[in-house]
Structure 1
Amino acid sequence: MTRSGPLTRFNPAQPGTAGMKVVATGLLVAMAALFVITRALEPRYPWLGYVKAFAEAAMVGGLADWFAVTALFRHPLGLPIPHTAIIPRNKDRIGAALATFIRDNFLVARVVARRMRGIDVAAAAGRFLSTPSGEGTRMRRGASRLIADMVEALDDERLGGIVKGAIAQRIARTEVAPLLGAALASAIEDNRHVPMLEAAIRALSRALDANEPLIREMVRKRASWVLRLAALDDKLADAILDGLRKLTVEMSADPNHPVRGKMVEALTALADDLQHKPETRARVEGWKEELLANRSVAQWLDRLWQRGRATIIAAARDPDAAMAGRMGEVLRSAGATLESDPRIRAAVNQFTRRAVAGMAASYGSSIVTLVSETIRGWDARTVTERLESAVGRDLQYIRINGTIVGGLVGLVLHLLDTL
């Protein structure tokens, strides 16, 4: 049993090929019959010599071309004549030559990059994304179903573990302290820290109201027995609470309050320490590692993965709904940007060109080996039938043309001989 697979069931009789073979063979038989008839009648009708010469040469030309065409694919009449059945005997060499041709003309990084320069991949992707309906709908739905089936078919536990592990490793390799410090410094510089300060002041005011009994108890415990005896501890607690409430109100109403300034100075110092102070950066990294080792973080990552997986499958199963929602707006916006922005389009095309050229350089030899091994695995009959079916109609035209041209040459030679 060969490795040809479905190719062994290939039907060699494409429409028109068998019919043209009958025409070519019928024309050869007709020339043979015409030669026999004119040869018998020539003594009575001398002018039939011209017809006989045409038929004779046509018969020879048709037979020669029949032999040449047949010799490409098999032994004529089953006779093992040398240099016949060329394709079956040289199947492996043809496969190697085809693989080499593909490698030298399609899978060389330099050639691929040159060919890719004329292809505007970014514009095509932009048109595809920005068009919610039309000719791209069928392709989008097919691609969406394929993505959904692939995501559902993959092992959820293994794939989820890979994704969660990749996220955790990415976070672990990223030093977060400088990022936090830069973000905080940028927020202070653009006055985006003000809402955060005001929220902190409001939180402080609510904390005072919520913890008033606790504050009074703390004052009572720390007051001397003289104050408690004179019942002055309650008045002291009232004064402290009133002073703190007044402070929060003044801080909230006055953007230039000194305490607010001190808070901004503290935040600025913290932003600088997060970016440049090794002790602070090391402390934050320690907190990050403790956080990643916490079981609740692993559970959060698992919930995040499950929600993301469900969202991907739902969007892929219903691409029209996905394109109609916010995701669709994002995709259409991205498509419009790809179409209209030449800088982004050039960058995407350059990235695509480099990626395809890199794939050709990395996997070109593997593709060449695959083509060569696949053709070598086909049996000779399969290759013969497939090639003969692909060019069979033109090959029969060669036979017909050979018959006619041979007859015309014979007629001219007979005419010259007569003259």
Structure 2
Amino acid sequence: MQVNSEPTAPESPTRSAPAVPGGAKPQAAVGRTLSGGDAEKAAALRKMKLLALGLLIAMAVIFIVAFALQEDYPWLQYVRAAAEGGMVGALADWFAVTALFKYPMGIKIPHTAIIPRRKDQIGASLGEFVETNFLSEQVVQDKLASVNIARRAGERLAAPAGADRVAKEGAAVIRGAFKVLNDDDVQAVIEGMVRKHLLTPPWGPPVGRIAERIFHDGHHHTLVDLLVDRAADWVDDNHETVSRLVSDRSPTWVPQFVDGLVGDKVYVEILKFVRAVQADPRHQVRQQIDKYLNDLAQDLQHDPAMIARAEDIKAQVLGDPEVRELASRTWGTVKNALLGAVDDPDSELTVKFKAAVRDFGSRLVNDPELAGKVNAWIGDAAGYLVKTYRSDIAGVITDTVARWDAEETSQKIELQVGKDLQFIRINGTVVGSLAGLLIFTVAHLIFG
């Protein structure tokens, strides 16, 4: 009787991988080099196999000796019965364990080599089990709620090392994005946005509406005050300029001293006028300025001629060359500024970003309301993802197992659980021995 037809998957590192349907190579070669953890499991599996096989051989030796000497030593009948039961139990459990992974002794007995033959069904069942019992919206949300992700994340972000890590990863993302983005494409996008949102809409009506609100609230008065003050200062400091303007425009036959008197008089009147406008917030000139500005705001909104003039000004200021140059300068400025900031750990942007990260982390730790909102958002997002993609996630298991080679799948599983399965053989040997001894003893007492 052959008793050493053991599963040899982990012990065959030189066997070549069988082909799979369609000529594709299996996902991993059967003869792959074992990792450190797998090598330890393979060694432990071999050790347990030798132990189970040693017990079977020991039972066979004991049976042979007891059977040969039982006529001379009748008590050896009990030993023979125990050894016989142990062999039966060991062989039965060896068959059961071996039938999971391969055909026992190479004989294609029905309902053996279960894992190689049914790996696809096993993968599908495993995927369905995971989807049903683990990828449940409620299960995921309850688990996330018990973990309190917001507080844990807050504690990490509040620490300087956590903020530095976020800043470092963010800088890497920005640099990577700039490497991927094409400057011409980005400039084209900016130019398109400028044309769509800045050039295509007419300027007159929106500018008029903004101006109307500004003038209605009196925000322009500060600017008017500034202009009047500057005008008064100029007149006050330019007496000679005003006198010369008067004399230059007077007839040549007018005596020079008369030009001086007239110039002084004009200067004094202009200065008095400007000072009056400066001192009186309700001066007629100020009121006329307010009326002119309000009329201008209305014309920009409703007068076709004024709207057309605004469009002409827009076309002159922002033609095609100017728009392209604006897009180029905007992108170049943003790009250089961001790259310079992220590359400098002491830049204002980096320092403020780290401070913001630490502040946010502290709020997550110390503000239960904010932490609750973040946890709820994470739970809802995870629940949505699980609910929407649970079948796709579970399908990864099914598809992965389906791509595995049948023999390799058997070897993978045996490597993980084979050591524990060898205990079944050991227990079968022991239990079989006790059962054989008990059955023989009872039969001998009843029929002896």
TM-score normalised to structure 1 length = 0.71
Cα deviation, 1:205-227, whole Å, max 9, x if unaligned, reads: 558768979x969x86998879x
Q: 1:35 to 1:298 in 2, by over 3 A?
A: same
Q: How does 1:298-377 map to 2 (within 5 A)?
A: 298-307=327-336, 310=339, 314=343, 325-377=351-403
Name the structure 1 match of 2:124. 96
CA distance in 2, matches of 1:113, 1:310: 39
CA distance in 2, matches of 1:69, 1:142: 53
Letter matched to residue 327 of structure 2: A
- Are 2:21 and 1:5 aligned? no
CA distance in 1, matches of 2:226, 2:126: 77
- CA shift for structure 1 position 203: 7.0
Name the structure 2 match of 1:24. 52
Q: How does 1:276-291 map to 2 (within 5 A)?
A: none
CA distance in 2, matches of 1:313, 1:57: 76
SS at match of 1:389: helix
RMSD: 5.1
Greater RCO, 1 or 2 (C-alpha within 8 Å, sep 6+): 1
Q: How does 1:217-296 map to 2 (within 5 A)?
A: 231=259, 235=264, 238-239=267-268, 242=271, 246=275, 257-258=281-282, 294-296=323-325
The more displaced of 146-155 and 376-385 is 146-155
Q: 1:306 to 1:138 in 2, by over 3 A?
A: closer
Q: How many residues of Structure 1 are paired with residues of Structure 2 in the alignment?
A: 394
The more displaced of 353-362 and 59-68 is 353-362
- CA shift for structure 1 position 361: 3.4
- CA shift for structure 1 position 369: 3.3
Unaligned runs of 5+ in 2: 1-22
Letter matched to residue 325 of structure 1: V
- Contact 2:116/2:407 (<8 A) preserved: yes
- Contact 2:341/2:347 (<8 A) preserved: no
CA distance in 2, matches of 1:167, 1:343: 39
CA distance in 2, matches of 1:301, 1:17: 67
Letter matched to residue 27 of structure 1: L
Structure 2 residue corresponding to 1:40, chosen from 68, 72, 77: 68
CA distance in 2, matches of 1:128, 1:93: 44
Cα deviation, 1:187-244, whole Å, max 9, x if unaligned, reads: x99x9x7xx976875576558768979x969x86998879x98547854774577468
- CA shift for structure 1 position 45: 1.5
TM-score normalised to structure 2 length = 0.67
- Contact 1:163/1:305 (<8 A) preserved: no
- CA shift for structure 1 position 171: 6.9
- CA shift for structure 1 position 396: 1.0
CA distance in 2, matches of 1:327, 1:62: 68
Q: How does 1:361-400 map to 2 (within 5 A)?
A: 361-400=387-426
CA distance in 1, matches of 2:126, 2:429: 32
CA distance in 1, matches of 2:191, 2:122: 48
Q: How does 1:74-223 map to 2 (within 5 A)?
A: 74-133=102-161, 147=173, 150-151=176-177, 154-157=180-183, 160=186, 201-202=225-226, 205=229
SS at match of 1:118: helix
Cα deviation, 1:123-159, whole Å, max 9, x if unaligned, reads: 12211201224xx699869956974785466345488
Q: 1:74 to 1:341 in 2, by over 3 A?
A: same
Letter matched to residue 299 of structure 1: S
- CA shift for structure 1 position 25: 1.4
Q: How does 1:399-414 map to 2 (within 5 A)?
A: 399-414=425-440
Letter matched to residue 54 of structure 1: A
Q: 1:296 to 1:77 in 2, by over 3 A?
A: same
Unaligned runs of 5+ in 1: 252-256
- CA shift for structure 1 position 308: 6.2
- Contact 2:187/2:327 (<8 A) preserved: no
Letter matched to residue 129 of structure 2: F
Structure 2 residue corresponding to 1:70, chosen from 76, 88, 98: 98
Q: 1:143 to 1:327 in 2, by over 3 A?
A: closer
CA distance in 2, matches of 1:350, 1:50: 69
- CA shift for structure 1 position 102: 2.6
CA distance in 1, matches of 2:146, 2:314: 48
SS at match of 1:18: helix
- Contact 1:50/1:414 (<8 A) preserved: yes
- CA shift for structure 1 position 278: 7.7
Q: 1:158 to 1:60 in 2, by over 3 A?
A: farther
Q: 1:241 to 1:323 in 2, by over 3 A?
A: closer
CA distance in 1, matches of 2:137, 2:314: 44
SS at match of 2:112: coil
- CA shift for structure 1 position 86: 0.4
CA distance in 2, matches of 1:6, 1:311: 46
